[in-house]
Amino acid sequence: MLWRYALFSCALGMAGLPIYIHAPKYFVEQYEISLATLGLTLLLLRSIDFFQDPLLGRLASSTVSRGSVPLWIATAFMCFGMILLFAIPAFISPILWFSISLIILFSGFSFAYIRIYALGVEAFGMEGQIKIAKWREVGTLIGICLAAAAPTILSIAGSSGYKNFAFLFCSLIIIATFLMSSYLSNFFKVQKQTTSVFPKDAGLQRLLLFVFLNAMPVAVTSTLYLFYVDHVLGLEAVGGPLLILFFLSAAFSAPLWTRWAEQFGALRVLRISMLVSILSFFWAYNLNAGEVIAFSIICFATGLSLGADMTILPAIFAKRLAKTKHDPNTGFGIWNFSNKLALALTAGILLPIMELAGFETQDMRSSLSREVLTISYAIVPCGLKIFALIWLQNMIGRNKNL
């Protein structure tokens, strides 16, 4: 069961965070869309999640008895959206094509994400969340690593790396869905649970706000990573390998974070990882062009922090859902919405501000553009992470058992 769960998480990981890394750069280069336009579009698209993700959580809860059929439908949506995004040239307005593709892709992704995380609560209960988190998040991080490397590796032969990535994803998610489908009916159980869309438990509410705050720095760096590496550090040739190093660091550190969380307390361990991230962001601001060794260390260190975020936080939230008997499908619908809202607000607000401050997509190597990009990539996430850390400290003070 666990390896199938990890494989599905791996395939799902390829369709989540990497899309926020690849898609903006792909459409800027392919269709010369401005960053401000893309940022506002992402914000508008994610505003749909105000309604969609909670409703998808309800839908996942109400279709438990349908077994694997809803998951297959979600898989079909993801495959179709991914092919539209990267494999078929836009024959209408590129920004409209971008929007339609992402709506289809992330509708399927959100449903599958909610279903697979709810499965972890149903199958393993309150006390098994750290164990399942280790398998699930390592699988997810491996999928992110594959997605980060695939466009570069798959373009070596001269063909389109993004197009080949789309078909690779479709193949893997179909195989993973087939292997998981036979288990859904066995592990999902209908129980008497709280079915309100937004959790009424104060602990869950504080956790969700922390998830939102803590996701914002990752949203900033995910959106700006390739631009920072290419145009500030001048390391375009090693941008892909450094991104892989970042995610591999997260993947291999995940089992260590889960072990430390069990020994010393989950939220307390998160404080250490967040301090590492803050110091790394501050260091990134002081880098000069060509400092590949220093930036490699930063990628490794921030990868460690991401490993803690992705492994410990879902386990804490799932444990709280089980304890309060809140429906895990609707609970993770709100969770997914919180993460995506952070990504959307960051892109929708930060990117236009960058252009107003003097950042120009057509002249990214000017001194003003580089300075704006450096501040946005390093100092802004540093400040956001400090604010999230203050909120975390407040949570620990309110609940000693977390």
∠ CA 280-281-283, nearest 5°, is 65
pLDDT of residue 190: 46
| pLDDT, greater one: 343 or 112 | 112
- Among 121-130, 176-185, 270-279, 307-316, the range of highest mean pLDDT: 270-279
123-144 core/surface letters (b: 16 or more CB in 10 A; e: else): bbeeebbbebbbbbbbbbbbbb
First to last CA, the chain: 28
Distances (CA, A) of 110 to 57, 168, 259, 286, 398: 9, 20, 29, 37, 31
* Calpha distance 187→123 (Å, rounded): 5
38 in Cβ contact with 351 (< 8 Å): yes
pLDDT of residue 59: 86
Mean pLDDT for the stretch of residues 199-224: 82
- Which pLDDT band holds residue 192 (cuts at 50, 70, 90)? very low
With 70 as the cut, is the pLDDT of residue 33 above it?
yes
What are the φ/ψ torsions at residue 326 (nearest 5 degrees)?
-85, 140
| 261: three-class secondary structure by DSSP | helix
- Which pLDDT band holds residue 56 (cuts at 50, 70, 90)? confident
Mean pLDDT for the stretch of residues 241-262: 85
Supply the DSSP string of 284-305, one letter for each residue. Answer: HHT--TT-HHHHHHHHHHHHHH
With 90 as the cut, is the pLDDT of residue 294 above it?
yes
Mean pLDDT for the stretch of residues 350-379: 80
- Which pLDDT band holds residue 186 (cuts at 50, 70, 90)? low
Which alpha helices (H) appear in 357-379, and where do they start and end? 367-374
- Which pLDDT band holds residue 125 (cuts at 50, 70, 90)? low
Distances (CA, A) of 18 to 57, 119, 129, 140, 244: 23, 24, 25, 11, 11
- Which pLDDT band holds residue 302 (cuts at 50, 70, 90)? very high
> Please, what are the domains in the chain?
2-398 (1.20.1250.20)
- Which pLDDT band holds residue 226 (cuts at 50, 70, 90)? confident
349 pairs with which residues across the strands? none
* Calpha distance 129→119 (Å, rounded): 11
pLDDT of residue 6: 86
| pLDDT, greater one: 148 or 105 | 105
pLDDT of residue 191: 46
* Calpha distance 366→359 (Å, rounded): 9
Q: What is the mean pLDDT of the chain?
A: 81
- Which pLDDT band holds residue 299 (cuts at 50, 70, 90)? very high
